[in-house]
Chains A and B, each alone.
Chain A
Amino acid sequence: MRRAFILLRRRLIGSIPVLLIVVIGTFLLLEAAPGDAVDAYIGTTGGDAGLIESLRQSWGLDQSAGTRLAAYLWSLAHLDLGYSVTFSRPIRDVIFERLPNTLLLMGSATALSFGLGSALGIVAGARPGSFRDRFLSIGSLALYAVPGFWLGLVLTVIFSVQLRWFPSSGIETIASGKTGFARTLDIAQHLALPVAALGVIYLALYLRIMRAGMAEVWRMDFVLAARAKGLSRRRIVLRHVARNALLPLVTMLGLQSAAMLGGSVVIESVFSVPGLGRLAQEAVSSRDTPLLLGIILVCAVMVIVINLVVDIFYAVLDPRVGASEEAA
């Protein structure tokens, strides 16, 4: 427990400069962009020079970049994400309204690819080199090679337009007044296709790691011993081989969290899911710098937290991990 705590403290302190780099980098990127929030706004509505000037003034865009960055960092230090001019609302509210949707989408997709991937990995790795192994490996790779948006479009045409099993877009039936279990079911139904599209793609990763891990464990002494003891193959596979191959999978889980977030941008846009990814796209196109900064910050914190959890999980499981950090 002490190890885990030290790890936690060290990581939290270490992540501050990382977040600072992220914020300043993103700010500079948007600063270099042609056009600002007023250009984005006026480009859709029209307006004359006086209007443009007064908008720029009231949105604070007439100040220098340095002043604005300093002001942003200052409010950030007070844990205030600032105000979005495109939504006319505090950024915290805008982000936290969308965050659950993205978390739900990502979480379910991760669970799907992790669960199904490792299960199929066990099947494939149980008899390395067999036809079943080859088929699963290449099949999952082929899925990994499919562009996510394309898979999403095809799923919509088949399952919502043709078969009408699932709704084609959205997160829940609009203004349905559903609550409790009915609402949960409704959301699950809306998320089925996007989760499938996002999850199936990353399935290959877990399948392959599981399979590779198992192939390695097969050759280890304790498995040989178990075989010598005459344990059934199924028992060896599940009890010894798969369990030991699980650790690298957990690492992958942490590493993939950022990629999943990226993948959800496209999937959210295909399925009109009001999530963080789509919000980020809107923030970029409306040049809402503080909003994009807020989203990227929240993403970064999420990734850091997920990796921290994975590490703590590791530290608890494997005594060697925390030791070096403690010494450092």
Chain B
Amino acid sequence: MSDFTISRRGVLAGSALLLASTALPGILRAQEAKKGGRLIVAADSEPRNLNPAIVASNGVFFVASKVVEPLAEASFEGKDGLDPRLATSWEGSSDGLTVTFKLRENVTWHDGKPFTSADVAFSALQIWKPLQNLGRVVFKDLEAVDTPDEHTAVFRFAKPTPFQLIRNALPALTSVVPKHIFEKGEIADNPANTALIGTGPFKFAEHKPGEYYRLERNDKYWGEGEPHLDEIVYRVLPDRAAAAGALEAEEIHLAAFSAVPLADLERISKVPGIEVISKGYEALTYQLVVEINHRRKELADVKVRQAIAHAIDKDFVVKTIFLGYAKAATGPVPQNDPQFYTKDVPTYAFDVAKANALLDEAGYKRGSDGTRFALKLLPAPYFNETKQFGDYLRQALAEIGINAELVNNDAAGHQKAVYTDHTFDLAVAPPVFRGDPAISTTILVQSGIPDGVPFSNQGGYANADLDALIAKASETLDPEARIALYRDFQKKVAEDLPLINVAEWGFITVARNTVKNVSNNPRWAVSNWADTVLET
């Protein structure tokens, strides 16, 4: 603790003893042992459905991943970037029709019942495939799950499915929930969708809407000596400015997912006792993308799209909007992806003169007022940065004679305007790269997706070549061949610009330095925190 704070406290104690004794947060009171303690973290939303097997999204995982575990978790060191969780090994057949999982033994559910292969089979067939937002794509050809014994599950696919894809999907898509709880009644109405029951290191204790979630230590956790913490409390702080203040006032220990605004990081990093950590989001890379409505005749012209790409100063975006906590993007796969990324794609340097020349060439001369044409720009409301980039893009477009009108909608309005009604010309979106282009990246380009599907190609772009490439990659079993196809995909996308990839970023964790083992895997914020320690 800094001298400054101590002196503050000294003054306080002297002048207002009564106030001080009651006001100083009792929640952080000393814990003698290294083990135990209550970790308090900031949460910015309260998901309606907390079941990670149904809703595979980071907002849900942030809380639920401590209670419900996947078959495997992402890892910095493990083979293929994975660490075993509920599965101890996994193997795909050469024909791509089966995947065999060996499951962990002596694991019990929080209600005391044993965890078996029947739970995995039930989760896969009854939940991941039919109900899960991402699983509906990846597991679409899953036909059956055989359970030769209690600790073996064999996934059978109707069509060859690349084992590489299944493997990459393990951390996010395979949260296992108990069959004996969910087999009764409608799955959607099951109370265990909010009062979670899992195998994880923490048990769901209570949720007080608008205030907090509380998780308790699972004494019977399979991990030896784990978990270290007694409790995790998620304090709901919807206001963006609140997390930084609460951290400094020692009311919370940790704020993940950039709950502390980027612009405040430099200052808060100098506050003694507080650390700013940018590791731990490598497998949760968000991409800043300009979505384009190809139904607009100007934007259907590749020269205009190239001009827009040239008009964007990616360096400025990274330095000013992301304050350096991002990377300029080259194409639809982020650079930190170890398997698929290629830098061998056409690039668009920041060059206003060239952008202007391209637009002239395309036949859109400046009018007497200096503008070529006007369009509507819809930044997604989910992040501060997407909105700020919207502000920037409007200015960047003005430089090349395109008059963009910003339209701010809330989440529902944006979803409707962009993905259902297509009443946009340009939109700013933050899609997530989930370790494999087939999970959530190719649908940003592929044609024939029904209206209303969020984070998909709703710009009316149709390119038969790219569609064929995507289809071929989805059934190519050889990992090397598959990677080659996706490299070709990146090249073609960067060439034809169905959308413009501007930057890619991970989030920032700000924590008090008493929290240890932070960010020790590439999905840390949404992993199980079994080894997290709170020192005193």
Contacts and interface: CB of A to CB of B under 8 A. Distances in A.
B133 A46 contact: yes
A64 interface: no
A272 B59 contact: no
Nearest to A287: B412
B411 A44 contact: yes
Interface string A165-183: 1111111011110000000
A173 B25 contact: yes
Chain A CB within 10 A, most for which of B27, B211, B412: B412
Nearest to B380: A43
Interface stretch (A21-29, A154-162, A216-224, A244-252): A154-162
A97 B210 CA distance: 10
A192 to B, nearest CB: 10
Nearest to B140: A48
Contacts of A40: 410-412, 415
Interface stretch (B69-77, B78-86, B114-122, B246-254): B246-254
Contacts of B416: 34-36, 39
B25 A163 contact: no
A269 B238 contact: yes
Contact of A161 (B22, B131, B194, B245): B245
Contacts of B40: 174
Contacts of B449: 49
Contact of A175 (B12, B45, B210, B233): B233
A34 B26 contact: no
A164 B8 contact: yes
Contact of A86 (B48, B208, B235): B48
B210 A278 contact: yes
Interface in B376-426: 382, 409-417, 420-421
Contact of B242 (A45, A87, A168): A168
A153 B239 CA distance: 11
B112 interface: no
Interface string A195-214: 00000000000000000000
Interface stretch (B94-102, B155-163, B450-458): B450-458
B12 A272 contact: no
Contact of B22 (A37, A189, A286): A189
A279 to B, nearest CB: 7
B9 A164 contact: yes
A203 to B, nearest CB: 23
A107 interface: no
Contacts, number: 177
Contact of B412 (A34, A98, A170): A34
Nearest to B271: A161
Nearest to B421: A34
Contact-size category for B? 35 or more
A53 to B, nearest CB: 9
Contact of B136 (A44, A51, A274, A275): A51
A52 interface: yes
Nearest to A43: B415
A275 B9 CA distance: 32
Contact of A46 (B188, B239, B410, B440): B440
Interface in B200-236: 206, 208-212, 214, 233, 235-236
Contact of B59 (A44, A48, A153): A44
A52 B458 CA distance: 15
B493 interface: no
B411 A285 contact: yes
A183 to B, nearest CB: 12
B241 interface: yes
A302 B12 CA distance: 41
A286 B412 contact: yes
B260 interface: no
Contacts of B415: 35, 39-40, 42-43
A146 B26 CA distance: 33
27 contacts: A34-B421, A35-B409, A35-B413, A36-B412, A36-B416, A40-B410, A40-B415, A42-B452, A43-B411, A43-B454, A44-B57, A45-B59, A45-B133, A46-B133, A47-B133, A49-B449, A88-B48, A98-B210, A153-B241, A160-B245, A164-B12, A165-B23, A167-B249, A169-B251, A173-B25, A174-B214, A284-B410
Shortest beta-carbon contacts, A-B, top 7:
A274-B210, A35-B412, A35-B416, A40-B412, A43-B415, A49-B450, A47-B133
